[in-house]
């Protein structure tokens, strides 16, 4: 069984996925006929495979028991992923809503990555890390 991923690692992976998605969008805007771009599914699938727990379900479990076990085991991993995407979205939205035109989405994601790598934001600034 894989050990659960640290939240900081999940956030860094989410930043990578968002950064890759932005780059693919930029490339497609430059060449609408482009067909050689991967839609980023590989990075998302890898993250899901690494964060989702492996669940062993006995053959004699009822449907209700399966639902309970899966919900309990998968719930924490889903919460971890949602928290990481929420953090990135919130930071991007704050810059957007403030009207700062001199800061790009790439700048915001890079700043978040540096903060995560350096130990996270100041205390109480963002409880998601």
Q: Has residue 65 got a pLDDT over 60?
A: yes
Question: Per the domain annotation, does 123 fall within a domain?
Answer: no
How many domains, in total, are found in the chain?
A: 1
Question: Per the domain annotation, does 124 fall within a domain?
Answer: no
Per-residue three-class SS string for 11-38: HHHHHHHHHHHHHHHHHHHHCCCCCCCC
Q: Has residue 35 got a pLDDT over 90?
A: no
Question: Per the domain annotation, does 45 fall within a domain?
Answer: yes
- Domain span at residue 41 reads 5-115
Q: Has residue 126 got a pLDDT over 60?
A: no
Residue 73 or residue 121, greater confidence: 73
Closest CA to 125 of 90, 82, 93, 98: 90
Q: Give me the pLDDT at residue 37, please.
A: 60
């Amino acid at each position: 069984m894989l050990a659960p991923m640290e939240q900081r690692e999940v956030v860094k992976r989410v930043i990578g996925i968002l950064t890759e998605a932005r780059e693919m969008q930029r490339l497609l805007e430059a060449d609408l006929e482009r067909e050689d771009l991967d839609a980023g599914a590989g990075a998302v699938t890898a993250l899901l495979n690494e964060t989702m727990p492996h669940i062993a379900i006995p053959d004699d479990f009822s449907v209700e028991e399966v639902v309970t076990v899966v919900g309990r085991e998968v719930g924490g991993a889903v919460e971890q992923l949602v928290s990481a995407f929420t953090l990135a979205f919130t930071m991007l939205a704050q810059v957007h809503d403030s009207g700062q035109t001199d800061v790009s989405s790439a700048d915001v994601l890079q700043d978040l990555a540096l903060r995560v790598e350096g130990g996270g934001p100041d205390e109480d600034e963002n409880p998601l890390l």
